[in-house]
Structure formats: structure tokens, C-alpha cells
Structure 1
Amino acid sequence: MEKTQARGLIRPSHQLPQKRSGLVKLLLAAICAGAIVARLQTGSWFLFGVSSTRTTADEGTHGVAVDWDTFWDTLPTRPKLEYTPCFDQTPLGGPFQCARLELPMDYWNGTTDATISLAILRSPAVVPVTDPRYGGVILLNPGGPGGSGVGFLRRGGDAIRKTVDVKDHKHYDLLSFDPRGVGETTPAVDCIKNPTLDHAWQLRVMEEGIFEASDAAIGRLWAMSIARSQSCSLPLPDGEPDIRKYVTTASVARDMLEIVERHGEWRETEARRLLGCVTNVPSTLLYKPEEEKIQYWGFSYGTYLGNTFAAMFPDRVGRLIVDGVVDAYDYKKSLWSDNLLDTEKDLQGLYYHCARAGYPACALANQTSVTTAKGVEDRVLNITYSLYHNPLPVISPSPEVITYSDVKNLIFAG
């Protein structure tokens, strides 16, 4: 099958797909099931290029359904961290706690006195702050930009805790937040004010697929991008502070410094509450103004954010993990070429190791003859291209159709 490489994208030759084998159907069913489960668990189309910013209801404290529009909008915004229980206990930690933190909209130029209300979620350590095994707080960012830290910690907190906690040695608070303009943090960057219309628009974008999904897709996606982006830049009513001017990476890094400071305050207050005393608090628990250091784990764009923090505040870095590192130059130029090249390298590694392991360790390997990396690659491409004209229907209580674009996006994002 003829194919052309253009910035890491493969353009199909539009040949009619061949009939799927039973093994191919099984493989695609597994891919589809994973995509559906991820979508149901996250309530998000993020892997396919669309991310829901708000959840409407969920299980809150004591199993009571929480309407997030009501909960977050009524949670008071404070200049200090004042936590409220907001989710049931997780398998590996205590009940989640929520807070809203008041921070300046403009830190540096004095263009406005307006503030933001930062939505913060905390997964408490399994030991109190007064326990010698308490290791402090780890601040998390899932990437994006625009990823919800609140949603990320809720869904992935236990997996993070399994990685960072060491039994009988160190246990950490896990803390994340919705960056300014995102999710439950207010004011939000809302380009389409009506949530129903916004969701419908996102579904339209998703259904168009990737650029090569059809002869018309690139023109439609370009027009929709122009319409949304330019509508998002329309001026606000006079006197209304414009958060769109202050959603820079530097501003988010500055917000992180404030979170670190406010956590230091909270840590000392919590220690005094637990010890029942005003004095004799261990020095390691005392708040150290302008000296508190960050412990941070950032993924994808979160690596760019973490490196920005380190460049702005080098003396405030304790430990910093950058996971899935973004090339800063490539990112700033909006090229994303490294992402495509690295994805292709990963795929070549998959083909090689599949051939090395053979069948049945790798379902894509030949059952009756020698497997080569090129043979595995051809099989993956044939499976993918077969969906171009014949998407795979998934019969279930939540029916689905898995398309060529879905699989390409899943490979790229997964």
C-alpha cells in the first residue's frame, strides 16, 4: 500500500480495505474497549482532541451525589488554604479535600485589581503532618495546556501515591489545581458561553476526525478553528476584567509559588491544631515565608510549566520531576514536530519488539511463520487503513463506532 510521510503523518492511498480477519477484529475490539472505558471513566474526549471542562454530578462525601455547578460555585474563596471534604475516601488515602484560593489576576503590571479563584484538590497523606514519615506536599500538573488538575488527581491519585509513597518511610500530600482560565477555576476562558452549544461544537470537531480523514476535513477543521479562535478574541463588556490576558505559563508558575507558600502556612496551622499547642512545633513544620520549596511532578506540557517555574524561581525548587519532556523551542514555535517524530520512533520500537517476542506474546506476530518488524508494521497499517472506509461498530449498552481517526489519535495520544 502506497503511503507518504508528511511531518509524521501517513496519508492513505484510499484503496478499498480488505476483509478483516478474526484476529484483527479481536485487536480492534480491544482498542475500542479501552477507548470506551477511558471515555466512561474520565467523562472526557481528551484523547480525541476534545476535553470536557466540568462534570455535572459525581459521588461526593458519604456517597452523596455532588452537583459540581453548585458545589464549586458555593465554595468560598479564601486568601489562605481552607479545605472542605468533597469526595469519599480513596483506597490509598483519606477523603479528598477541596479549596478555593484567591490570587491576583495580574501579578506584575498592576493593570487590574481583579482576582482569580483557583480550584484546588488535595489527597491527604496517610499520616498526619506531625508524623516523622510525613514528606510534605507534591504539586501535580497533568499537562495540556488546559488539563484539569482537579480531574487528574481524582482519577489518577492512587496510581501516583503508589509510585511516590514508601511504606513506613515517607508519605505525601498530593495536590493539584485547575490552572487559571480552566475547569472550576474562575473566571474561566469561555469562548462559547452556552455549555450545550460548546459541547455540540466539540462533538462536531471530533466527528470531523484528523486532517486526512476525508478530502473535506482539513478545510472544515481550519474554518472551525478560525471561527472559534477569532470569536474567542472578541472584546468583553467594558469594565469586565479579561482573564485571557493573564493565562500565560509564567502566571501559572507564579500561582504555583503562591500554592507552595499557602501550603507552608497551612502545614504549621495544622501542626499546631494536632499538637494542641502554640509553641514547641518542630522546626520542619514551621512556615518559612519566601523560603518554602516546591516538590513537583509535571507531565507533558507540565514539564514546560515545571521548567518555567525552575527558571523563574530557582531557589524555590526542592524536588522537580518532568515526565514526558516537552522541547521548549518546538513547543513555543507551535511546531509539535518532535511529538510526531517521537511517536514514530515508539511505533518502530513496538514493531521490533513484537517481532522479537513472536506469537502468542504479541498478537500482531505471525502464528505460523517468521515475523519481521516490517511485517508487523504492514499489519498495523492495514488494520488502521481498513477503518478508513469501514469503521468498526461496537455493540454494547453504550454503542460506539471506532474510526480511522480514533485509532490514529489513540496511537498518537496514548
Structure 2
Amino acid sequence: MRLFQLGCLVSELIVLSSLSVLVMAAPLAPQSNNSTKQWTFDEIQPSKSIAWYPCLQNYSCAMLEVPLDYSAPNGIKAAVPLIRIAALDNSLNGTYQGMILTNPGGPGLPGVDFILQSGYEVLQPVIGTNFDIVAFDPRGLGRSIPLANCSAPASKLRRRAFGMTGPELSSLYWDQTLEQAKELGAECGAAIGGPHGAGQYMSTAVVAMDMLSIVNAFAASERGETVKGSSFLNYWGVSYGTFIGETFASMYPDRVGRVLLDGVVDPRDYIAGLDLSQINLVDAVTNTFFEYCHAAGPENCPFYTGNTAKDIAQRFTDLFVPLNSTYATAQGWANATVITQSLALMKANIRGFCYDPITFFPPMAQQLVAYESAIRNLTVDGIEAVSSIGIDQTPIPGTIVPIEEWQAGVLCSDILPLYNQTYADISSHVRELEGQSFLAGEMWATIQAMCTGWPIKAKWRFAGPFGGDTKNPILFVSNTLDPATPLINSQTWSPRYKGSQVLTINGIGHTSMSPVNSCAFAKMGRFFQTGKLPGEDSFCPMELGPWNITLTGLGSDGFIQT
């Protein structure tokens, strides 16, 4: 099972562990019309009402017609792809409760794939089998119409999203990155930037409008008319999907139903293009690897060394010493480009492991040992080969590989304009992010740098204010050590939405889906079933982590406090 996460570049899939908790009933084939034909999205005629068709064996699919531009509702149309895991007729959870929308994060990730990857294994066991669980591909992405496809330049660097010090990336890296951003922007400006293209309509504000259209269409459907409160949004937003939820709740507070925001983005920080509240725990989560590796011992963790977790941390620091990209570039070394790209790949790959430590820390230990050997005879292909050791890369049927313009189209529509800025303009911010995290700072800035070449201006952009007196309270969910969306984000923004509450998970990794905490999933499921917040019982203790070890006493720096 795989799940896309915020901050991962769109080529990266985050593998999650399967869940065996809270399963209420075995999944059955979805409710649909009587046809046995398995439809594809390109065969389904978009319609203003939701018409479900059997698809992909165990799902239902639809194409909802919406205005391309909501200021011209009678003008050109767009189509939003929907996929559904239908509620069971005889659910052990009780009577039919309606529809819950979901979004996996990104930005720039297809929701349809989220259901295919995680619907039966994660979402339904937590939510229950008496809800229709629905996801959609946001504007310009996946199977949506019109699609943002710019034939992105093949020359772009291959990049993956994923108290520590190490070498910084050189000016060569940033020259290449900004040049590739210009190439991508030029291609996309020509291909999708026109009045009928997807480019102007990929902002989160438009996604929120589409979500309201989906809710309205469901409420007007035969199935929706049987449910009380069907005109309210029920929603599980993960990572960047929380920004979608925050935007919807701020734009349409009177339409908020049971909304759960899991791994919370700071909306003000995000739209400013700063992301200063996103990466400040990446290195701390990496430090937990050293503690878990030490606890696992040399028989289970091949990167084990010395007598303490700090000894393992020193071995990790030493790994990067030969990869001084800045020095190699300044000295004009023939392999400066190889060093630069290898350093970027390693930083991104290791950062990605921090998103799901239970799954990725064991193969991370294998890869770190292999990196030590690969660096002695350094090639980019060699580093890439190491980065796949121990990782299941088998694609799930029906899923598609996201492309870079999807992330750029959303991000550059949402944040303050960076178009035509040079490295001199952004270098101080790059250094600021680098100061927050050795592993993530420059990688995060690389994502934002795509917008320096993005010429398309969003038709709609919601910049706040964020917050409001929502019809129903929102449940914010955060881990104590999250490498992309720190707990402080939930603590800061929950009070802005009247009556809302934070559920805190003492765990590591990105969103509730990383620690797989049974206490948290039980409380989240109860919220979806009843709408009730946890109240005073709003903290879930640490459970099993990597190598089936439970550590206690982890501090804010990721090391055990003594």
C-alpha cells in the first residue's frame, strides 16, 4: 500500500504498513448499477449529477461536471473524477451515514490513487463501512478535464521527496534547478496557460469550490436524500489535504460537517511561500533512527556502530564528508556535477524515510551501509541503485505516476508569486531553510523554486483569513515528531476554528498513518461515527515503532533524554 505525502516530490511514493486494527467488516464489491462492465474514466460521460459506474473491480467511478471558471457558471465546463468505496448494506457500524471525502496531500497528488492505495487497508478500517468513502483528482491532475500536461522537459534533474550538519548544495545545483524551472514554466505557459487550459484553475480555492459542488451533488442524489446532514462536508484531509480543509472551512464555515485534519499545514506560512513551520523537526526525526538502530542492535540494524546512539549519529555525519558539493564546484572538479546530484538524491531519499519510520527505517539502515560503499566509486546511477534497496516499487493497478507540473500548478497558484526571481533573490531563504534542517532545507526550497519559472497566474486564490465559526467542530490530529507538519501547527490553528480540538499522538513520522497508533485510530473513527471530539482524553501514548520496538523518553531533538 502506498500513500502520497506533503513535501514529497510527485515522483515519490511513500509505502505504508498494512493495518489490521479496527476492521469492522470485510470489504465487498461496491454498490453500482447492474452492469458487469468495468468502466474507465475516459469512457464515463461527465454529468452534473453523480452517476456511479463499476470500475477497477472493487470500486465505483464518476465524472462530475463543474464550471471551469466559477465566475462563469454557464461557460466552459471541467470534469472532476470521483472514485468510491461504497458503504456496505449490512454494516456492523450501523445505518448508512453518507459520504466522506478524502485527500492524500501533495500538493499535486491524485485522490483517486489514494483510494486505490489506501482505501480498503487504511481509510475504511478507521472510518467504518457505513460511509461511502470518496476521493477525487483535483483540478489539472490525474484524470481531470482539462488536464495539466506540459510535456515537461526531459533535462530536469531527477528528484525525489524525502543538531545535524553537512555539506550544502552548490551554486551549480541552483543554476540547474532554476533553469529547469524556466523550461517547465515555458512549456506549461504555452500548453495549459490559456483561458481554456487547466493552469489558471489549479489553486486550492478552486478545489474547495469543487468540493462544495461534490457535496451539493451528493445531497441532491437519491442516496444523499436518505441521510441527515448530507449537505455538510465530511472530510479526512491528510498533509496538504489539511490546507484544502482549512481553506474550505474558512470559505464555507456553515457547510462543515465531520472534518478531520491529519498532519496540519500552517496556512499562513504556506501561502507566504515560507514553509518555516514545516521542516523544523526533520533532523529530530532522523535522530530517532539512531536511537531505534541502537535499540535494535547490530543483528537487526546493519548501520549500528559504537556503544551509543550518538556513535551511530557520528557515522551518519561522516557519510556526507566526501560529498562537499560547494568545494568541488569551486575547485572545478570533473565530478562536481556527480557529487552535487548524489548529495541531492541522498538528502531527499533519507528525508523521505522520516515520513514513515516503521516501514522505512529498516531499509534505511541497509541503504546507509550501501551508500558508504557507493561513495567510494561515485556515480549518480550507483546512488540511485542504492536508494531502491529494500523498497517495494511494485505499482498498484490503476494508479498513475504524477508529473512535476501538477505540483507546480497547485503550489505556484497558492503561494505569493516567485516568477522571474533569481537565485540571488531566494538565496537568503534557502539558507534560512538550510539552517532549520540539513536534510530538508534545500530540498524544500527546491520545490518552491519551481515557481520562479511558472508564468501562469491563478484566476482564484484564497489568502485568508483562515478560521471561523464552523457549523461543526473540526478535529486536528498531529504526531509529536512529524517531519513535515509539526504539532505546533495544530496547536496554533485549532483555536481559530470555534470548538475544535487537537488529538496528539506520541509518535514519529508524517500524519497518523505513519505511527499506526490504535488509540488514535479508535478516537478518529469515533469522531467520524458520532461527531464527538475526544474531550479530555486527547492524547495517545507511544506504541510499537521500527523493528517492533517501543521507545520512551524521546525528546524534542529525537534523542532519549537522560
Q: Shift in Å at residue 157 of structure 1? A: 0.8
Q: Shift in Å at residue 242 of structure 1? A: 3.5
Rounded to whole Å, the distance in 2 between the matches of 1:174 and 1:308 is 21
Q: Deviations over 1:377-408 (max 9, x none)?
A: 2233445663556469999xxx961359x9x6
Partner of 2:468: none
Partner of 1:127: 89
Rounded to whole Å, the distance in 2 between the matches of 1:236 and 1:394 is 33
Q: Shift in Å at residue 130 of structure 1? A: 13
Partner of 2:44: 75
The reply to whether residue 300 of structure 1 matches residue 239 of structure 2 is: yes
Rounded to whole Å, the distance in 1 between the matches of 2:44 and 2:177 is 38
Q: Which has the higher contact order (CA 8 A, sep 6+)?
A: 2
Q: Shift in Å at residue 136 of structure 1? A: 2.3
Rounded to whole Å, the distance in 2 between the matches of 1:236 and 1:49 is 19
Would you say the 8 A contact 2:150–2:192 is kept in 1?
A: no
Q: Shift in Å at residue 355 of structure 1? A: 3.8
The one-letter code of the counterpart of 2:226 is: L
The reply to whether residue 254 of structure 1 matches residue 209 of structure 2 is: yes
Residues 113 and 259 of structure 1, relative CA distance in 2, 3 Å threshold: same
Rounded to whole Å, the distance in 1 between the matches of 2:192 and 2:303 is 54
Pick the structure with greater CA Rg. Answer: 1
Rounded to whole Å, the distance in 1 between the matches of 2:282 and 2:213 is 36
Q: Shift in Å at residue 87 of structure 1? A: 1.3
Partner of 2:173: 217
Q: Secondary structure at the match of 2:75?
A: coil
The correspondence of residues 67-216 of structure 1 with structure 2, limited to 5 A, is: 71-88=40-57, 95-107=58-70, 109-110=71-72, 113-127=75-89, 132-166=94-128, 171-192=130-151, 198=152, 201=154, 204-206=156-158, 216=172
Rounded to whole Å, the distance in 1 between the matches of 2:133 and 2:247 is 21
Q: Identical aligned pairs, as a percentage? A: 27
Would you say the 8 A contact 2:146–2:198 is kept in 1?
A: yes
The one-letter code of the counterpart of 1:139 is: L
Q: Shift in Å at residue 140 of structure 1? A: 0.6
Q: Deviations over 1:29-64 (max 9, x none)?
A: xxxxxxxxx8xx799xx9555379xxxxxxxx9xx9
The correspondence of residues 246-395 of structure 1 with structure 2, limited to 5 A, is: 246-266=201-221, 269-270=222-223, 285-286=226-227, 292-355=231-294, 358-360=297-299, 362-366=301-305, 370-372=307-309, 374-383=310-319, 386=372, 387-388=374-375, 390=377
Gaps of 5+ in 2: 14-31, 322-371, 392-438, 444-481, 485-509, 511-562
Q: Shift in Å at residue 311 of structure 1? A: 0.9
Q: Secondary structure at the match of 1:233?
A: helix
TM-score normalized by structure 1? 0.64
Q: Deviations over 1:104-137 (max 9, x none)?
A: 1222x33971111111110112336999432322
The one-letter code of the counterpart of 1:402 is: V
The reply to whether residue 50 of structure 1 matches residue 11 of structure 2 is: yes
Rounded to whole Å, the distance in 1 between the matches of 2:150 and 2:226 is 43
Q: Shift in Å at residue 258 of structure 1? A: 1.4
Q: Secondary structure at the match of 1:159?
A: helix
Q: Secondary structure at the match of 2:97?
A: strand
Rounded to whole Å, the distance in 1 between the matches of 2:124 and 2:161 is 36
Rounded to whole Å, the distance in 1 between the matches of 2:192 and 2:131 is 42
The one-letter code of the counterpart of 2:287 is: Q
Would you say the 8 A contact 2:237–2:244 is kept in 1?
A: yes
The one-letter code of the counterpart of 1:309 is: F
The one-letter code of the counterpart of 2:47 is: R
Would you say the 8 A contact 2:8–2:160 is kept in 1?
A: no
Q: Secondary structure at the match of 2:148?
A: coil
Would you say the 8 A contact 2:105–2:238 is kept in 1?
A: yes
Would you say the 8 A contact 1:135–1:172 is kept in 2?
A: yes
Q: Secondary structure at the match of 1:100?
A: strand
In the comparison of the two structures, how many residue pairs are matched? 319
Q: Deviations over 1:216-237 (max 9, x none)?
A: 3332122011121233223879
Q: Shift in Å at residue 331 of structure 1? A: 1.3
The correspondence of residues 27-66 of structure 1 with structure 2, limited to 5 A, is: 47=8, 49-50=10-11
